[in-house]
Structure 1
Amino acid sequence: MIKVTNSVALDPAEIEESFVRSGGPGGQNVNKVATAVQLRFGLRHSPSLPAGLRARAERLAGKRLTKDGVLVITANRFRSQERNREDALERLVELLRKAAIPPTPRKPTRTPRSVQRKRLEDKVKRGEVKKLRRGPRTDD
């Protein structure tokens, strides 16, 4: 089991890894060895995740989530396949840890009466300044 938080753990069988050729520099090895890792995790249908965590993780995943609800993480930062596997898994666990933190609810606050009074007084002063800028009124 892959531990995400104290109460949430993932079954390694839910994670699917495939290896693809990595782009970028790499010398003679780059066209022969599939070092990049494409990790796939069925986020929407995972029995290991609670509903709230799943919804927050879907929001955090963004473009990495397919229409079917599969999270795809591609790791090609390192030149070795093993380090890319570890990197992809770390990124999955990090995303789920972020999603495990519930958002703090907003506490509604009221504007203090003194602030409201000051705003209204400032409006009155501004109106008086504009009134003084007007020229004398001419009636035909």
Structure 2
Amino acid sequence: MLNSEVLVQELQFKAVRSSGAGGQHVNKVSSKIELSFDLRNSAAFSERQKERLLAKLNHRLTKDGVLLMQCGESRSQHKNKDLIIKRFLALVKASLVVPKKRIPTKIPKSVIRKRLKNKKNLSDKKVNRRKPDLD
């Protein structure tokens, strides 16, 4: 269903400098990876899949329908690239899952009878606790 080789070929990567502390190393090495994926112009998905992805990922997409992700966890550019590809594939796979439609179950008559019987017993118990009417 999901052809990851075709998807990975459509991805665009850009290496940028990581933010935060790190001394001289962080100032001279571009190890952070930014991934961009143009969902609307992708050939890897059918129109139905694109609609589902657009609906599920609309908060992560730009106005042009481009998904942007970034990873700067490792000091290695290659590790960051592998991490971001794995995250991207997991995100796409999770977004394409169609949830099962819930079928409401019918409550059995014996369960309804049992509930009403318990209510009646509790009511009778409370009635018996009252002071008797001597009129």
Structure 1 residue matching 2:35: 3-state secondary structure? strand
Match of 2:80 among 74, 84, 106: 84
Q: Is the 8 A contact 2:3 2:44 kept in 1?
A: no
Q: Offset at 1:133?
A: 4.8
Asked if 1:125 is matched to 2:121, the reply is yes
* Residue in structure 1 matched with residue 29 of structure 2 by the alignment: 33
Percent of aligned pairs sharing the same letter: 38
Aligned alpha-carbon RMSD (Å): 3.3
Task: Report the count of equivalent residues.
Answer: 135
* Residue in structure 2 matched with residue 113 of structure 1 by the alignment: 109
Q: TM-score, normalised by structure 2?
A: 0.73
Residue segments in structure 1 that go unaligned for 5+ positions in a row: none
Q: How does 1:1-140 map to 2 (within 5 A)?
A: 5=2, 9-10=6-7, 12=9, 14-58=10-54, 61=57, 63-134=59-130
Q: TM-score, normalised by structure 1?
A: 0.71
Q: From the superposition, tell whether residues 84 and 11 of structure 1 become closer, same or farther in structure 2 (CA, over 3 Å).
A: closer
Q: From the superposition, tell whether residues 59 and 118 of structure 1 become closer, same or farther in structure 2 (CA, over 3 Å).
A: farther
Q: From the superposition, tell whether residues 38 and 47 of structure 1 become closer, same or farther in structure 2 (CA, over 3 Å).
A: same
Residue segments in structure 2 that go unaligned for 5+ positions in a row: none
Q: Is the 8 A contact 1:40 1:71 kept in 2?
A: yes
Deviations 1:36-60 (A, max 9, x none): 1111112345342134433444455
